[in-house]
Structure formats: structure tokens, C-alpha cells
Amino acid sequence: MSYMALKHAHMMFALISIVLFMLRAWIAVPSPARIKSKVLKVLPHIIDTLLLILGVWLAVMMKYNPMGNSPWLAAKIIGLVLYIIVGTIAIKRGKTARQRLIATLAAIVIFAYIYGAAVTKSPLSWLYL
């Protein structure tokens, strides 16, 4: 598969991932038990797995090293871990609707940071511009 095809597939799955997250958060903020759809429980994991596989494939193809020549990639990985932690608070682990709402907004900001790090190829993300 070509670099451009991989990159565009990775970007497409990133977009689908954040849209599904926002949909699930919109449903879950009032009450996590409201997410009853099997599709909304399983599909995000499939999309996120494909997103991660394509990201690793791109990094290997381009010889990006998060501990060496690509500090922006290390920033994306750290951001991803934070996004997952905060996202689980937003969707199911938050004890109150307020906590879930704050976690949802924080997860969206973290996603925007990750996207900015990818676009600018800088750990400063959007501050680099």
C-alpha cells in the first residue's frame, strides 16, 4: 500500500473515531447506561484498532522513531494514552454527568492536540504555527 493511501486511511479512521467518540459521549454524559447499542459499543474499538495499526504501519514505513528523530510521534503516543484515559472517564467511568462532560471536553482538546502534532510534526502541536 502506498504512503498516501495509508496516510489518508489513517486520517479517515481518526475522523470516524472522534465522531463516534462525540456521539457516544453525547449519549453517555447524562447516563452511561444509555449506550445500549451493540454497534456503538463494538464499532469504536474496531475503528480505533485499525487507526492504531495504520499509524504503526506509517511509522515503520517512514522510519519514524518516537525516541529519536520524531519527538512529535512520542507526543502523539503520550496524547493517545491520555485521550484513552480521559475518554473512558467521559463514556463510562465518570461518577457524575459533570465529570463526564468535563472529561468529554478534555478528550476533544487532547484529540485536537494529537491532530496538531501530526499536522505540524512538532510536539508543540498548534503552538508551533
- pLDDT surpasses 90 at 129: no
Q: In the chain, helix, strand, coil percent, each to 5?
A: 80, 0, 20
Rounded to two decimals, the pTM is 0.91
pLDDT digits (tens, 9 = 90+) for 19-52: 999 999 999 999 988 888 899 999 999 999 999 9
Q: At what angle do helices 38-62 and 3-28 cross, to 10 degrees?
A: 150
CA distance 6 to 124: 24
Domain residue spans of the chain? 3-128
pLDDT digits (tens, 9 = 90+) for 67-110: 988 999 999 999 999 999 999 999 999 999 999 999 999 999 99
Residue found under cell 499536522 = 119
